[in-house]
A and B are shown apart, each in its own frame.
Chain A
Amino acid sequence: MSAPSTQHADTTPLTMSGAEVVLRALKDQGVEVIFGYPGGAVLPIYDALFQQNAIRHVLVRHEQAAVHAAEGYARSTGKVGCVLVTSGPGATNAVTGLVDALMDSIPIVCLTGQVPTHLIGNDAFQEADTTGITRPATKHNYLVKKSADLARVVHEAFRVARTGRPGPVVIDLPKDILINKAPYTEAPPEEQPHPSYRPQTEPDMGQIRKAVALLKAAKKPIVYTGGGVINAGPDASKLLTDFVRMTGFPCTNTLMGLGAFPASDPQFLGMLGMHGTYEANLAMHGCDVMLNIGARFDDRVTGRLNAFAPNSTKIHADIDPSSINKNVKVDVPVVGDAGRVLAALIEAWKEDDAQQDREALASWWRQIDAWRAKNCLHYVQSGKIIKPQHAVKRLYEITRELGRETFITTEVGQHQMWAAQYFGFEKPNHWMTSGGLGTMGYGLPAAMGVQIAHPDALVIDIAGEASILMNIQELGTLAQYRLPVKVFILNNEYMGMVRQWQELLHGGRYSESYSAALPDFVKLAESFHGVGMRCTDPDDLDRVIREMIAIDKPVIADIAVDQKENCFPMIPSGAAHNEMILGPGQEGGVAGVTDEGKVLV
């Protein structure tokens, strides 16, 4: 199957191979780094990569890690992350990363190799129905069957990944398409509309004015924002801060939205949801007007739906119309980009002559301060065992004191929630975690992607000893590219969140949740050319943290923490916001877990 030159409309002979066309399109799309792993079907692209200097390739050790690395890169830079994997197992290994990016709305373009077009459907070696498998795992996907389509498809993939609600896009590239000559076409101008894909970014001003009228009259308002504000770029976070300060409203962020509003601001109530703060959840429960910007009423946030913010009027701004009225019925839907929505809200707020009920707002704040006084994140560090909360808190305080630009990634579980609770983020794009899919093994490769994008920054993966083993092979990538990522393991020798649920919901039967036969993490780090450290003594913790940060190499700091510690506050599944369980020594409405709740995850 050779490329017929008749595919090309004019008569100039084609000089570029399909692989070269792909790389040229990537370059024109501003790609500087691509995370990948070679294999038979993508050899033509690797050959073309070898012969150019514009795009840097980072060789990972597993395709799942390539996608997470691209996610870390994308989330810390605001650019599209780019991935290159081979056909068959290369593509199937990437699927977890793709779904992760889909759930968390991270812009990714993933190039997958495919067997040559004439072999598709023949069960050829390393063949998989990649577009079939990734259809529900991506925002959109393409199988390129004609060389003439190649450049257009790559440009379109970037547009789809980056615009609207961002997400992962797969381009499946048969090997003959990569080898044959193909025409190159420039990307169409941004303003040229796509025939069918036209996300709405500008909010309707009528809806904005309705929202402002409700907010001005609010007695117990709350601003609840999510990853949409982060995705709308750093300007959106700045606008959010401006808006919250000009209104005097309390603000809470979802797990994905942390950093959009400065954690140190007195108007910040902390994270909300299952492991959110007492004040954030009770303020959500008791509010009369809720402004949700770029969050999706996820079940981790809402708790029991029929008890969610029962007496509130809800305004929901989201770029994805399908997120509106999906879980929670809202009163004022606004479709648009979070940044554009915030700019419009600020403008309409200034234009609206109505006065705020300052008296009511002051009394709302008094109520919130009373909730705050509960000090729900309080813990006691005493004795010779390190409390995991204390480890995260000291890590935060020491990095803040050092003043270096710091990025935090996490794996999934208790350590992730402690990181979200005890590490304060002042700026967007500095916190990468797997929120929607909850992918153990996310943090290390994501940290790798962040470090590639920010070579001089301090990048720390706050990990658990179980999660870290899910993509531990990436220590090899860290070594190869001399990426001084710090892995800070809260080692409690349990899959902590599983253990916590087993303790609270399953009668303390710790079925298969003990991390038996753990490796020696110090030797493990050393065997991958890094530095390993272990800390078992609270008095030694600061020294270990400082030393870890000072070393200009990959480091694993294995912190032995209290095995029995649970993550509180906690809204058990199936419970409402005001049925939160607090930590030991703190009174609170302890919710009985119902069988109905047990069914939920």
Chain B
Amino acid sequence: MPDPTDTTLRAATIAVLVENEPGILARVVGLFSGRGYNIDSLTVAPVDETGRISRITIVTTGTEMVIEQIKAQLDRLVPVHKVADLTMEGPHLTRELALIKVVGKGENRVEALRLADAFRARVVDATTESFIFEMTGNTDKIDAFCALMRPIGLAEVSRTGAVAMARGPGGLKA
């Protein structure tokens, strides 16, 4: 039972299966802004063969009571099928895809390639003075890679935000 006096914040990765209808994303985002909840990242795409069901992955931060509220409020939306708090419901995987542009010459280029290799980032575009790296990983790994690239010419970052899934044979179904 959440304790209202507990002000400890925790991160939560919430997976939401929704009916893929116009305005559903606005409903979810509006709920977060209207009730003052945080969105750290949000991703959405259809996930079934007919394109009828979309999966939204939301990473948010709040007190236990706020996170419980977020889940209850999401579940209350008419087009929402399922809400799962992956952070609470056992081990899960989180991945993000990032495209990272690094601009530089000489030793910096060599260093960028060396670090990319260590982080298993792939070069997907190269010019004589730039690279675009593609990498997947959890949020921390991409954060760490970007931090290392900053002094050697980090020019642009594009990230998808987290997608996540519970480990093991169980599946989240509408």
A contacts, CB < 8 Å to B: 131-132, 135-136, 139-140, 143, 145, 160, 195-197, 305-306, 320-322, 324-331
Contact = CB atoms under 8 A, between A and B. Distances in A.
B3 A329 contact: yes
A195 B72 contact: no
Contacts of A324: 72
B23 A135 contact: yes
11 contacts: A140-B77, A195-B81, A196-B174, A197-B79, A322-B72, A325-B2, A325-B65, A329-B1, A329-B3, A330-B1, A331-B1
A197 B26 CA distance: 18
B79 A196 contact: yes
Nearest to A140: B78
A322 B68 CA distance: 8
Interface string B44-78: 00000000000000000000010011001101111
A143 B26 CA distance: 14
B19 A196 contact: yes
A322 B78 contact: no
Contacts of B34: 136
Nearest to A320: B76
Given A131-B23, A135-B23, A322-B73, A197 B2 contact: no
B120 interface: no
B6 to A, nearest CB: 10
Contacts of A306: 5
Interface in B68-112: 68-69, 72-73, 75-81
Contacts of B4: 305, 327-329
B65 A196 contact: no
Q: Chain B binding site: helix, strand, loop or mixed by DSSP?
A: mixed
Interface bin, chain B:
20 to 34
B10 interface: no
Given A136-B34, A322-B73, A196 B80 contact: yes
Contacts of A322: 69, 72-73, 75-76
B27 A326 contact: no
A196 B78 contact: yes
Nearest to A197: B78
B170 interface: no
B26 A139 contact: no
Nearest to A306: B5
Interface string B21-39: 0110011001000100000
A326 B5 CA distance: 12
The 8 A-B residue pairs with the shortest CB-CB distance, nearest first, are A322-B72, A140-B78, A196-B81, A197-B78, A321-B72, A322-B73, A329-B4, A136-B34
Contacts of B1: 325, 329-331
Contacts of B77: 140
A324 B4 CA distance: 12
A32 B4 CA distance: 46
A377 to B, nearest CB: 33
Contacts of B65: 325, 329
A324 B69 CA distance: 9
Contacts of A325: 1-2, 65, 68-69
A329 B73 contact: no
Contact of A132 (B3, B19, B26, B78): B26
Contacts of B69: 322, 325-326
Given A196-B78, A196-B81, A325-B65, A136 B72 contact: no
Contacts of B30: 135-136
A329 B174 CA distance: 30
Contacts of B23: 131-132, 135, 143
A128 to B, nearest CB: 15
Given A132-B23, A325-B2, A329-B3, 11 more contacts: A132-B26, A140-B77, A140-B78, A143-B22, A143-B23, A195-B19, A196-B81, A197-B78, A324-B72, A326-B69, A329-B4
A160 B79 CA distance: 11
Nearest to A335: B72
A329 B65 CA distance: 9
Contacts of A331: 1
A322 B4 CA distance: 15
A322 B83 CA distance: 13
A354 B81 CA distance: 41
Contacts of B72: 321-322, 324, 326
A207 to B, nearest CB: 13
A196 B2 CA distance: 27
A321 B76 contact: yes
A324 B26 CA distance: 25
Interface in B131-174: 174
Contact of B75 (A145, A321, A326): A321
A152 to B, nearest CB: 13
A160 B78 contact: yes
Contacts of A320: 76
A326 B71 CA distance: 12
Nearest to B34: A136
Given A132-B26, A322-B73, A139 B68 contact: no
B16 to A, nearest CB: 11
Contacts of A195: 19, 81, 174
B81 to A, nearest CB: 5
Contacts of B19: 195-196
A320 B77 CA distance: 11
A155 to B, nearest CB: 14
A331 B27 CA distance: 31
A419 B6 CA distance: 40
A16 B27 CA distance: 33
A197 B22 CA distance: 17
A263 B26 CA distance: 45
A576 to B, nearest CB: 15
